[in-house]
Amino acid sequence: MQTALHKKLQTQENYSSEEIRWLLNHIGDPDATIRDELVYQSFNHALLEQRMALGDFQWLVHEVLERDLLFFRQEEQG
């Protein structure tokens, strides 16, 4: 999946539901290369360039809110 996502950053193709799920599940990956260089950049690419289907975007918003990812570990980070 990592290789496919790295390649996707260089294209104008939409992200699949499977790719979006993988990215979401690796937001807090301990490997900085995955977390910072792949997940962060892929979400920027997908969201800012509108490279995901509306249904996938709605699913992503629901999951982020359901998992409370916007404020994850905020008390530890400040």
Per-residue pLDDT tens over the stretch 1-18? 999 999 999 999 999 999
Domain segments of the chain: what residues?
Answer: 2-77
Helix (H, G, I), strand (E, B) or coil at 33: helix
The pLDDT of residue 75 is 57
**Which pLDDT tens digit goes with each residue over 20-57?**
999 999 988 999 999 999 999 999 999 999 999 999 99
Interior CA angle at 23 toward 17 and 27, to 5°?
145
Q: What is the pTM of this model?
A: 0.86
Taking the C-alpha atoms of 33, 73, 63 and 35 in order, what is their torsion angle to the nearest 10 degrees? 0
- Percent above pLDDT 70 for the chain: 90
The pLDDT of residue 70 is 77
